[in-house]
Structure 1
Amino acid sequence: MSSPAGHDDAVFASYRASFTEGRGFLNFASYGPPSRPVRDRVAHLLELAADGSVRSGDTLYGEDLRARESFARLSGFPLQNVGLTGSTSLGLFQVAFGLTGGSVLVSAGEFPANTYPWLRTSAAGRARVDLTGGPGTRMTPDVVARALTGDTVAVSVSAVDFRTGYRADLAGIRTVIGPDRLLVVDGIQAFGVADLEWTLADVLIVGAQKWIRAGWGVAALALSARGMERIEPLLTGWTGVTDSRRYDGEEHPPLPGAQRFSVSNLSPYATGALAEALALIETVGIPAIEGVVATHAQALIGHLPAVGVPVLSPRDRSDTAGIVVAGVPGRAADALAALADAGITATLHGEDRIRFSVHATTRSDALGEAATVLAPFA
């Protein structure tokens, strides 16, 4: 594994030493194994819960704020504009049902978490969905521009496409949709390993379980002032309103910031894990992590063609993040089994594709080995 240029080697070595995933784990786009600090924090919080004291309760409930503060620093959004929700899917549903009219442009090739909310809100008679393209469509600024209509009020895209690894040009999309339409960004396949200008988005939703490496049960939700103004907190709950502990039987007004989208109290073990994972990212910085991830991805992109395996994901360093897709025509299931036998974890995408995804903690020797295993299936 290479060291990120311009960064403190000792700090980065400490960061890497925090993780203990298997040598052949190349599946971060599915989930990211948590670090020791995350595991230790969750264990500590469980001990506090078992204690049951008032002070323990204060710490447990305080994990939400720790996570929000760290996410605000890493994303660039003001703390007031950062909230937490249960998952990327739930956050997208909350945003989708918060739009009252017009149409929302979404790629039909998106991960289903970013299509079903729009389909459901359209069926409910709120914002209509306008699907474009299909599996493998790159949502480039040109594609978005051609699909816009006079009714388009928002565009929803993934920062990095789960299927192809394509990194969206958020600045270009922001330019073509203009200042009056909302840009909704599913950041789960990018946040933590891609140094993007997140504040170009009016809504950013990021689940914790993949590249952030914090496990399941929580997602961060950040909104611009424009997004806050236009998205109603329709799918919200008692923790998203003022005076939430005044049980008077009346409907209370929503909180002023992004916390208005809170549905209920989240698990302190999930929010504590997120806070700890984000704090670990902050110790080295996303640009440093991105640099090593890019180096590993480029190395794998080089290994695969060398043994006759085509690369189906973008090859240019600026167009991708940590996802590399190998083409294995008609033999992907057998190839995945061979990888598993070799101790390499990846994801099967249909009959012809295997998706690898690398992180800054990936072992370099696993990349060449993965290509070697696939060679007979090319």
Structure 2
Amino acid sequence: MIRSTNATTPPASSSPGGLPGYAEHFSESEGYLNFASVGPPSDTVLRTQAEMMGRLADPGPGTVGDLMTAYERARAAAARLARARTDQVVLVPNTSTGLFHVAFGLPGGRVLLPSRQFPSNRYAWERAASLGRSRALPVPLDHRGWATPDTVRAALEGTRGPGAAPAAQLAGGRSTDAGPADSVVAVAVSAVDFRSGHRADLAALREVAGDRLLIVDAIQGFGVADMAWEAADVIVVGGQKWLRAGWGTGFMVVRDRALERLEPVLSGWTGAQDAYAFDDRTHEPLPDAGRFSLSNPSPVTAGGLASALELVESVGVPALDAYVTEVVGELLEVVRAAGGVPSSPVDPAERAGIVTFTLPGRDTAAVGRALEACGVVATVRPEHVRLSAHGSTTAGAVERVRAALAEVGAGAHGE
């Protein structure tokens, strides 16, 4: 069971509990279970950004330069967590920006992209294809609706794995014929599926991809799921969800193999050498991941991102992963006990912080109303209800879900 703990520092939240050393930095309501949508930032992030804005309100001669040191602090923290070098990290304001850099950076070839990805993935590859760059080839999902090493391998071999669903067609009606496997230059996946919470096996995907680039949208897992990030050639992360850094934050890791193959098509002046030599010339791109910089990011958001990453570091991703695994296991038990049907993996090795489910005989809107009445904040869509837990989630949140589902069940019996 989830333990209510008494940290040395009194917890800031309205209910004690959560992961010691982490939970006391947050103050969201007890029933907040919507981290897959947005993660409320910590007191550390809020304090960092307030202090930086305060300095900006009354700047001195060295203020701007001092504030901009936040860039390197954020890059260094991201590199440590991604098991990368600092020169392989560039800050981006969101996941979509990073994905567009990658999609337009590949000069051609085909990219295997599992079906039913979050739209930010689809749009990046669609826009790149429309201008004659790389082109995405949908990978059919398995019978559970998951992208796995087997489905990717089958796509590379030009065959379908057992139980695979039919391939989807990309927008515009273009042909999705696979062609020879050697025309595939990259495999693009989500580290954690935003629908089901399925956790990708990055190490196995690395083996399947071979020398092709492995591109990972990590927004639903980075900082809370202990995964083989070193297997990816490119990692793109928005900081507003599980990192809890606020909107406008994020980074991209571009390892050496990707750096050799991606062109800095969307690069700006800060992505060039001698950027501050205002000599009316276009300079050569930087030799590292900085070449994908468009302009200087906000030092205030960079400072918030750095604080968020450092908080994760202080506790450790393995500890966060273990705690979230425990909470999600309890949520799954509650859902099943209420007669719900989860679409999330049961095996802890295959899931992260997301639980999606339906309640037979009850539409999701009714379930959503019951959750809201019990103080639970969740994502409710026509196809399912999604709960998502973090290191600050307490036993009280699980009990609120239990009460809500019991209420829905009682209402169903009374009809």
TM-score grouping bracket, smaller chain normalisation = over 0.9
Q: Is the 8 A contact 1:61 1:268 kept in 2?
A: yes
Tell me the distance in 1 between the aligned counterparts of 2:273 and 2:128.
Answer: 26
Quote the offset at 1:228 in angstroms.
0.5
Which of the residues 295, 308, 325 maps onto 2:356? 325
Structure 2 residue matching 1:210: 3-state secondary structure: coil
1:197-224 residue CA offsets vs partner (Å, 9 max, x unmatched)? 1110000011000000000112111011
Match of 1:2 in 2: 3
Letter of the 2:242 counterpart: W
Match of 1:24 in 2: 31
Structure 2 residue matching 1:204: 3-state secondary structure: strand
Which of the residues 233, 250, 261 maps onto 1:202? 233
Q: Is the 8 A contact 1:328 1:352 kept in 2?
A: no
Q: Is the 8 A contact 1:331 1:377 kept in 2?
A: no
Match of 1:61 in 2: 68
Tell me the distance in 2 between the aligned counterparts of 1:82 and 1:324.
Answer: 31
Match of 2:16 in 1: none
Q: Is the 8 A contact 2:370 2:408 kept in 1?
A: no
- Structure 2 unaligned runs (5+)? 10-18, 157-180, 410-415
Q: Is the 8 A contact 1:107 1:137 kept in 2?
A: no
Match of 2:100 in 1: 93
Structure 2 residue matching 1:359: 3-state secondary structure: coil
Letter of the 2:387 counterpart: F
Q: Is the 8 A contact 1:307 1:372 kept in 2?
A: no
Determine whether 1:158 maps to 2:186: no
Aligned residues: 373
Determine whether 1:48 maps to 2:55: yes
Match of 1:13 in 2: 20
Determine whether 1:362 maps to 2:363: no
Structure 1 residue matching 2:22: 3-state secondary structure: helix
Tell me the distance in 2 between the aligned counterparts of 1:30 and 1:328.
Answer: 21
Q: Runs of 4+ in structure 1 displaced over 4 angstroms?
A: 8-12
Tell me the distance in 2 between the aligned counterparts of 1:335 and 1:15.
Answer: 30
Structure 2 residue matching 1:131: 3-state secondary structure: strand
Determine whether 1:145 maps to 2:153: yes
Quote the offset at 1:298 in angstroms.
0.4
Match of 2:316 in 1: 285
Letter of the 2:154 counterpart: R
Q: Is the 8 A contact 2:364 2:383 kept in 1?
A: yes
Determine whether 1:239 maps to 2:270: yes
1:69-92 residue CA offsets vs partner (Å, 9 max, x unmatched)? 111111100111111112100100
Tell me the distance in 1 between the aligned counterparts of 2:21 and 2:313.
Answer: 13
Tell me the distance in 1 between the aligned counterparts of 2:271 and 2:215.
Answer: 21
Q: Is the 8 A contact 1:309 1:375 kept in 2?
A: no
Determine whether 1:167 maps to 2:174: no
Match of 1:217 in 2: 248
- Fraction of identical pairs, as percent: 43
Tell me the distance in 2 between the aligned counterparts of 1:124 and 1:346.
Answer: 39
Larger radius of gyration: 2
Letter of the 2:258 counterpart: G
Q: Is the 8 A contact 2:141 2:147 kept in 1?
A: no
Determine whether 1:126 maps to 2:157: no
Match of 1:78 in 2: 85
Quote the offset at 1:108 in angstroms.
2.2
1:298-327 residue CA offsets vs partner (Å, 9 max, x unmatched)? 011111111211211101100001001121
Structure 1 residue matching 2:236: 3-state secondary structure: strand
Q: Is the 8 A contact 1:296 1:362 kept in 2?
A: yes
Quote the offset at 1:257 in angstroms.
0.8
Task: Say what the alpha-carbon RMSD is for the aligned residues.
Answer: 1.8
Which of the residues 247, 251, 254 maps onto 2:282? 251
Quote the offset at 1:115 in angstroms.
1.1
Which of the residues 38, 42, 53 maps onto 1:35? 42
Which of the residues 97, 107, 116 maps onto 2:114? 107
TM-score when normalising by structure 2: 0.86
Tell me the distance in 2 between the aligned counterparts of 1:13 and 1:138.
Answer: 33
Relative distance call for 1:375 and 1:150 in structure 2 (3 A) is farther
1:160-198 residue CA offsets vs partner (Å, 9 max, x unmatched)? 0000100001111111111x2000000000001111111
Quote the offset at 1:132 in angstroms.
2.4
Tell me the distance in 2 between the aligned counterparts of 1:306 and 1:369.
Answer: 14
